[in-house]
Amino acid sequence: MPNTPAEVVQLIALLIVHIVLGLVLLGGGRALGRRSFLVAATAPLLAVIWAISNSAGVLDGSVPTDRVNWIPELGLSLGFRLDGFSLLMVLLVSGIGVLVNLYSLRYFSAGRPGLHRLAGLLLVFSAAMLGVVTAANLLVLFVAWEVTSITSYLLIGWDDADPKARASALQALLTTGAGGLAMLGGFVLLGQSAGTFDIAALAAKPPTGTAVEVALVLVLLGAFTKSAQFPFSAWLPGAMVAPTPISAFLHSATMVKAGVYLVARMAPIFAEQGIWRPLVLTVGLVTMLTGGYRALREFDLKSILAFGTVSQLGFLMTLFGAGIPEATTAGVTVLLAHALFKAALFLVVGVIDHQAHTRDIRLLGNYGPGWTGPKLIAIVSGASMAGVPLLFGFVAKESAYDAFANGDLAGRQIVLAGLVVGSMLTFAYTARLLLGAFRPGRPGRDVSSGLDAAAASPIPASPIPAVAAPSPWFWLPAALLATFTVVLGVVPGLASGLVGAASESLDRRIEHVHLALWHGVSLPLVLSGLTLAVGIALSVAGPMVAAVQSRIPRLADGQANYLATMKTLNRTADRVTGFVQPGSLPIYTGVILLTAVVVPGFMLIRTPMPDLPAWSTGPGDWAAAGLIIAGGIAATVVRERIAAVLCLGAVGYGMALIFMLQGAPDLALTQVCIDTLGAVVFVLVLRRLPNRFEDRATRIGRNVRLVVSGLVGIFVFVFILVAVGVRTETPVSEEFVARSLEEGGGRNVVNVVIVDIRGFDTMGEITVLAVAAMGVYGLARLTRREGRELKSFAPLRRPGTREEGES
Amino acid sequence: MRRSLILDVVVRVVFHSSLMLGLFLLFTGHNRPGGGFVGGLVAGAGISLRYVSGGIDEVRSTVPLRPWTILGTGLMVSSLTTLTPLFFGRQLMEHAKFDLHLWFFGAVHVNTALLFDVGVSLVVIGTIVMLLVAFGERMPTVSNPFIRSNEDR
C-alpha cells in the first residue's frame, strides 16, 4: 500500500504484537508463572511509547487514517485512524495497562496457578480495546468490541473453580453480548442508510430517517449494556469477583468506557436525531443517581467502588450524550480524571485486601506503621473523585457544571440539578470509602449501625489485628496515577493540549480548549461549593443516611431483574422445546410431509398443467412399475418390520431397473448398492425393536395418515409432471456433456459432475455424511452405555439418599 | 443364532472380490460407470458381509483402522485435493490432468479428480463401518471351533 501512514502500520503491528504475545503467554507461559506479567507489560509499554512519539502530530490536528482490505467483496476493510480522542484513549488503556501488569507482579503470590492465562488474556483484551478506540469503521469497532466482551468473560471467570465467578462472568457476557447484538443491528441499519460504515464519512454526511432513529436506539442499547447503564448495571458490581488488577483495568478504567467512547463519537453527529438526547440524558442521570445511592449501602470496599463506577459512567454518559460542545469537552476531562483516580483507588483497595485479607469497612481501620503512602494515594484520589479543589477531579466537575449552566439546551436545568445531586452522592460514598478504610483507632466498629447492616451480613466477632505494611513497589503504580491527579489539578493547563485535541476530534465546533483552576465566581463555583457542603453533611450524618436507606424498599434491583429475565427465558425455552419436540415420530414425519406438500403445492396449483407424456417407453417399464407399486403397497400392509424393509428394498430395486432401462447404469449401480446396504443397516437397528408393528393408531389417526400419504403421493406425481413439462430453457446437462471430456477429462459425465463440475456439492455432502455418521455413532453409544453408567456412578452417591427406582 | 460354516466360507470367498470390485469401480469411474461413491458402497457391502457372518469382532479384525480414522482420512484427502490448486495459483478445486508413463502398463491418464474420489469412497466406507460398530453386536454364541472370539478367553 503506497500511501499508508507510518502511524497506522505501526498501530497494526502493535495490535499484532499484543495478540501474538498474549497467545504465546496463554499457550506456553505456564513456566513463567508470575513473571508473565513482566513479559506482558512490554506490549502496552511499546504502545505508550508509540502514542507519545506520535502525539505531537496528532495534537496539531493531523489524523492518520488508513484501511487494509479485508473482505473486498463485501466492502469490508480493516480501517484504523488515530485522532485526538483515540490518542487519549490509547494512552489511558496502555498506560494503565502497564501499571496494572507491574502491580500484578506484587498482587499475586508466586505459586498461584493460571497467572500466565491471566496475563495473556489481559494482553488480548488490551489489543481488542485498542482496536475499539482506533477503529475507523463501525464493523471493525464491533469485532473489537465483541472481543473485549469475550476476554472480559474469561477474565471475570478466571478463577473457574468458583461458581460465583462463573455466574458473574456469564452475567457480564450475556448482558454485554445481548447489547452487542442490538448494536450490530444498529450498525447495519446505519451503514445501509448511509452507504458506508466509515465513521468519518458518517460524521461528514450523517444519514437521517426513521431507520436511522431506530438504529441509534439499538446502538445505544449496546453502549448502555457495555457501560453498565441503568437498568443494565447489575453485571458490573458482579464482575468484582475478578482479581482486583482486572477490576481496576477492565471494570473501571477501560472496557466499561467503551460504551461511553461510542456515545462520545456518535453524539455530536446524531444527538439531534430521534430520541437520542432525551434517552441518553435520562439513562445517564438515572444511572448516576442510582449508582451513587447504592454505593452508600455497601460494606465491601470494592463494591462501593463498583457502584461508584456505575455512577461515574452515568455521569460520563450524560456529558457525552448531550452532544453539545461544552459538555463534550467536559466529558473528555471527566473521562481522563476518572481513569486516573478510579484506577488508583482500585489499586489501593487491592493493596489493602492483599495485606488485610478483608475488604469489609466494618473490620478495617487498624493499620500498622508504613501505611502513609497508600493512605495518601487513597485520600488524594478519593478527594479528586469527590471534587475537592486543587485536584483534577475538581477541574473536571467544574467544567461539567459549566457546560449545563449556560446555553440553550432544552431541560438543561434538570440535567444540571441531576449532576449536582449525583456529585453530592459521589462525595458521600467517597467519604464512606475513605473513612471506612482508614478511620483511625476503630478496629471492628460499625460505621453505619443501620438496621440493614446487621440483617444483611453478619460481622465476625473479633477484629482483625494490625495490618502489616505493604512494600512500596506494591503501591508505586497507584502513586504514579495519584501524582497525575495532583499535578493536573494544580496546573490543569498541562492537560489542555490533550483534552483540546480529543474534544476537537469529536466535535468540529470545538475550538481552543483551555482548562483552568479558577474561572471566577460563577454559578458552577457556587454549585461546587454547595456540592461540597451537602456532601460533608451527608457523610457526617452517615449512620442516619444508612438508617433512612434501610427503611426504603429497594426499588429497582438490577440483579433481581437479571435473574427474573434469565428464569423467564429458560422457562420459555423449555415450553417451546416441549411444544415443538413432542418426541413422537408420526408427528415429526407428518409435519415434514405436510410442509413439503403445502408450501410448494400451493404454487403448483397455480401453474398450468402440461400435457401428459407417454405412459411407457417399453414393456420393461411396466415390469419395473409393477415391482415398485407391489413393493410399496406391501410395505404398508405387512405386519413384520423386517418384511416391510424388504418390501422397501423391492421398491428400490424397481427404481434401479428403471434407471437401467433408461440408460443410466451409474445410477442403477448406486441404487442397488444403497438398497442392499440400507437393508443391512435397517436390520442392525430393527434388532432393537419389536418384531411386529404395534398398531395403536385410532380410527381417526389412521384416516389422518391415509390422507397425508395420499396427499404426498398426488403431490409428488403432479410435481414431477410439472417439473418435467414446464422446461423452457435448454437443460444445463447438455453443456455438462459437452464439456465433460474436454475440461473434466472423463467420459463418464455423471462422475465428472460429481467430482469436478459440482465438486463443491460433493465436498459438502461427504462432510454432512461424516458428521451424520459421527452423530449416529454417538447416539447409539450413548444409549448403549447408559445402563452401565448408572451402575458405575452408584457408589459416588451420597450415603443415605435412596436411589431412584429402587423403592 | 448360530454361526454358519457355509456362510463363513462363501463370505470369505466373496469378500476380496467385492473389495477388488470396489477399487475397480473407483478407478474406472471417471470414464465408465462407477466412481468413488459406488466403489465405497461396494467395498462397504463386502465389509458388512463379514459382519453378517461373524459379528462385530469379525469386522474389527478385518478392518484394522478405527472407523473415525477412515472417515477423517477421507475428508482430509478430499479437502486437501480441493485446496491444493490454490497453492499453485489455480482456482479452488481445479483438477490437474497428466499422462504418466509406467514402463509395463504403458501410458496412463491421471486426473487429480481421482484423489478426490478416493476421499469420497473412504468417507463412505468409514460411515458404513461406523454404523456397523455403532449398532452391531458380537455373535452371541460361537459354534465355529476354528475362530476364537473374545468370549473364549
In tens, the pLDDT along A737-771 reads 777 777 777 777 777 888 777 888 889 999 999 99
The shortest C-alpha distance from B127 to chain A (Å) reads 5
Distance CA A41, CA A54 (A): 20
Inter-chain residue contact A770 with B127, CB threshold 8 Å: yes
**Above 80 in pLDDT, residue B116?**
yes
- So what's the pLDDT on residue A582? 83
Distance CA A497, CA A515 (A): 9
Distance CA A147, CA A160 (A): 20
Least confident range from A2-6, A196-200, A619-623, A645-649: namely A2-6
Is the CB of A665 inside 8 Å of chain B's CB atoms? yes
Is the CB of B96 inside 8 Å of chain A's CB atoms? no
Beta-carbon count within 10 A of A85 CB: 25
Beta bridge partners of A77: A69
- So what's the pLDDT on residue A272? 86
- Condensed to tens digits (0 to 9), the pLDDT of residues B85-105 reads 877 777 777 777 777 676 776
Nearest 5°: the CA angle A590, A592, A598 is 95
What does the pLDDT average to over B40-51?
Answer: 91
The shortest C-alpha distance from B17 to chain A (Å) reads 15
B35 CB neighbours in chain A (<8 A) are 666, 748, 750-751, 754-755
Which of these, A195, A199, A146, lies nearest to A173 by C-alpha position? A146
- So what's the pLDDT on residue A445? 44
Nearest-10 Cα torsion for A756, A757, A758, A762: -10
- So what's the pLDDT on residue A280? 93
Is the CB of B105 inside 8 Å of chain A's CB atoms? no
What pTM, to 2 d.p., does this model score?
A: 0.71
- So what's the pLDDT on residue A511? 76
Distance CA A146, CA A540 (A): 44
Nearest-10 Cα torsion for A659, A662, A666, A669: 40
Residue of A nearest to B44 (CA): A677
Task: Tell me the pairing of strands A65-71 and B106-111.
Answer: unpaired
What does the pLDDT average to over A576-605?
Answer: 86
The residue ranges of every structural domain in chain B are: 5-145
**Above 60 in pLDDT, residue A50?**
yes
In contact, A355 and A301? CB cutoff 8 Å? no
- So what's the pLDDT on residue A459? 52
- Condensed to tens digits (0 to 9), the pLDDT of residues A644-664 reads 999 999 999 999 999 989 888
Q: Which of A669, A760, A772 sits opposite B38 (nearest CB)?
A: A669
In contact, A365 and A439? CB cutoff 8 Å? yes
Inter-chain residue contact A746 with B128, CB threshold 8 Å: no
In contact, B95 and B78? CB cutoff 8 Å? no
Distance CA A738, CA A748 (A): 12
B131 CB neighbours in chain A (<8 A) are 681, 684, 773, 776-777
- So what's the pLDDT on residue A800? 43
Residue A554 — left, alpha, or beta (φ > 0 → left; ψ -120 to 50 → alpha)? beta
Residue A77 — left, alpha, or beta (φ > 0 → left; ψ -120 to 50 → alpha)? beta
Q: Does the complex come out with an ipTM higher than 0.90?
A: no
What does the pLDDT average to over A168-177?
Answer: 92
In contact, A447 and A432? CB cutoff 8 Å? yes
What does the pLDDT average to over A666-671?
Answer: 88
A772 CB neighbours in chain B (<8 A) are 127
- So what's the pLDDT on residue A1? 40
A746 CB neighbours in chain B (<8 A) are 29-31, 111, 113
Is A113 buried (19+), middle (13-18) or exposed (0-12) by CB count in 10 A? exposed
Which of these, A317, A314, A295, lies nearest to A306 by C-alpha position? A295
Size of interface A-B (CB pairs under 8 A): 136
Is the CB of A711 inside 8 Å of chain B's CB atoms? no
Enumerate residues 119 to 148 of chain B having a beta carbon within 8 A of any beta carbon in chain A.
119-120, 123-124, 126-128, 130-137
Residue of A nearest to B33 (CA): A666
Omega into A44 within 30° of 0, i.e. cis? no
Which residue, chain included where needed, has cell 459521589? A426
Q: Which helix (H) or strand (E) holds A122?
A: helix A115-134
Enumerate residues 32 to 91 of chain B having a beta carbon within 8 A of any beta carbon in chain A.
32-38, 41-42, 44-45, 48, 51-52, 67-68, 71-72, 74-75, 78-79, 82
Inter-chain residue contact B130 with A680, CB threshold 8 Å: no
Residue of B nearest to A762 (CA): B120
How many residues are recorded in chain A? 807
Question: A459-470: string of b/e by CB count within 10 Å (b at 16+)?
Answer: eeeebbeebebb
Q: Return the higher-pLDDT residue of A198 and A546.
A: A198
State whether residue A616 is helix, strand or coil: coil
The shortest C-alpha distance from B51 to chain A (Å) reads 10
Is the CB of A770 inside 8 Å of chain B's CB atoms? yes
Distance CA A243, CA A222 (A): 25
Q: Which of B68, B113, B123 sits opposite A769 (nearest CB)?
A: B123
Least confident range from A204-218, A582-596, A748-762: namely A748-762
Mean pLDDT, chain A, rounded, equals 84
Inter-chain residue contact B45 with A673, CB threshold 8 Å: yes
In contact, A332 and A88? CB cutoff 8 Å? yes
Question: What is the percentage of chain A residues whose pLDDT exceeds 70?
Answer: 91
